[in-house]
């Protein structure tokens, strides 16, 4: 890019012109400053990994980590997509854990009932 003040060529990521020192209001950096980081889902994904469903939860954690890393380099769009992915996998992990827990519960009751029946 070129300095709007003096026309000198400056680096695309520069905040100030090296020649005249004027603030360049770099649009990429200004964008990041005005943006709020999308929800990372990091806490939720760790919780579901621990308590519900490990494989889905890990995908959630990987995406959750991507939200912060992409956001920190100014990739707002990438951070939003990672946030959506993290949320999706965290919810999947939650429901998988819940349904798995229910099935476990039902099976335990069935086995318990069967055992009681055999005792008679």
| Closest of 109, 111, 105, 66 to residue 85, by C-alpha | 66
Please identify, among the stretches 13-21, 45-53, 59-67, 102-110, the one whose residues bind Zn ion according to the rule CB under 5 A. 13-21
Tokens of 46: 């760790």
Residues in the chain: 120
Q: Is 110 in the site for Zn ion (CB under 5 A)?
A: no
Q: Please, what is the minimum distance in Å from the beta carbon of residue 27 to Zn ion?
A: 16
| Closest of 71, 102, 103, 73 to residue 86, by C-alpha | 71
C-alpha to C-alpha distance for 65 and 60, rounded to whole angstroms: 9
Which one of 11, 19, 30, 100 is in contact with Zn ion (CB under 5 A)? 19
Considering only residues 20 to 39 of the shown chain, the ones binding Zn ion according to CB under 5 A are 20
Q: Please, what is the minimum distance in Å from the beta carbon of residue 12 to Zn ion?
A: 15
Q: Is 17 in the site for Zn ion (CB under 5 A)?
A: yes
In the bound state with Zn ion, the residue whose beta carbon lies nearer, of 9 and 43, is 9
Which one of 1, 2, 6, 110 is in contact with Zn ion (CB under 5 A)? 6
Beta strands in the chain, from DSSP E residues, in sequence order: none
How many C-beta atoms surround the C-beta of residue 3 within 10 A? Answer: 18
Query: Interface with Zn ion by CB under 5 A: which residues?
Result: 3, 5-6, 8, 17, 19-20
């Amino acid at each position: 890019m070129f300095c709007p003040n003096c026309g000198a060529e400056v680096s695309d990521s520069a905040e100030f012109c090296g020649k005249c020192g004027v603030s360049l209001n770099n649009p990429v950096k200004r964008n990041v400053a005005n943006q709020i980081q999308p929800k990372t889902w990091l806490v939720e994904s760790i919780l579901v990994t621990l308590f519900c469903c490990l494989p889905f939860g890990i995908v959630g954690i990987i995406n959750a980590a991507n939200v912060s890393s992409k956001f920190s380099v100014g990739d707002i769009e990438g951070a939003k997509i990672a946030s959506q992915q993290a949320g999706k996998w965290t919810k999947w992990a939650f429901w998988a854990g819940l349904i798995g827990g229910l099935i476990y519960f039902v099976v335990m009751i069935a086995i318990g009932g069967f055992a009681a029946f055999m005792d008679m």
